[in-house]
Amino acid sequence: MDTPQRRGRRGPALQTPVTAAIASAAFDELAENGWQGLSMDAVARRAGVGKAALYRRWPSKDAMLMDLIGEAVARNLPDLPDSGDLRRDVRAFLDLTVAQVADPRMPRIGLDLLAEYVRNPAFSEELRRTVAQPRREAAATILNRAVERGELPAGIDISLAVDLMISPLVLRLVISGEPVDEAVLDRMTSMIIAGAAATTAP
């Protein structure tokens, strides 16, 4: 028999084979033509599906892509153990970020994701909630633990320090595209620790 085994739902989508086919086709089109270049007709054709099948699931092209991408990105959430040492924690955070962005489908889709993120306020909020916030919280946890351990001074600006943990790496990975090797990550780690410690009110 072929009982449609519901295995711990990954999210509302991908429940039926039709939805899965749409998702696959959409990602292919996204990688080939980008967000703006993707047309609903092309996705439906590629998925061997009627256009109505798409609009039965999402109210618009943007909503569909937000949902599909958001879900895909949200799936790989950071899971960082407490190493008991700030330097190791920070380095692990950076490594995880590099690993996630290094996903083979990321280079092309990721940029379009950011493009649409800044373009579309609704998606902006959705993505902030599902993607950015969890990562910011993970970074904040690392910093707070270090404060508790006394590795960082008490009065630091956590929010600013979190920006510091995320933005220089994202700039390199997503925007400037410069290579990020071990040595750079080492120096970046030092930079983050020193910088974070200096975010106290003067």
Footprint on this chain of a copy of itself (rule: CB under 8 A): 8, 34-36, 50, 111-112, 114-119, 128, 132, 157, 159-161, 163-164, 166-168, 170-172, 174-176, 178, 183-184, 186-188, 190-202
Task: Look at residue 51 and give the partner it binds from a copy of itself, DNA, none, a contact being a CB closer than 5 to 8 Å depending on partner kind.
Answer: DNA
Task: Look at residue 88 and give the partner it binds from DNA, a copy of itself, none, a contact being a CB closer than 5 to 8 Å depending on partner kind.
Answer: none
Q: Are 146 and 89 in contact (CB under 8 A)?
A: yes
Task: Look at residue 80 and give the partner it binds from a copy of itself, DNA, none, a contact being a CB closer than 5 to 8 Å depending on partner kind.
Answer: none
Question: Which CB, 37 or 84, lies closer to a copy of itself?
Answer: 37
Task: Look at residue 20 and give the partner it binds from DNA, a copy of itself, none, a contact being a CB closer than 5 to 8 Å depending on partner kind.
Answer: none
The Cα–Cα gap between 78 and 139 comes to 10
CB of 45 to a copy of itself, least distance (A): 14
Q: Are 200 and 172 in contact (CB under 8 A)?
A: no
The Cα–Cα gap between 77 and 113 comes to 17
CB of 175 to a copy of itself, least distance (A): 7
Closest CA to 139 of 78, 187, 194: 78
Binding site for DNA (CB under 7 A): 5-16, 18-19, 21, 38-42, 47-53, 55-57, 59-62
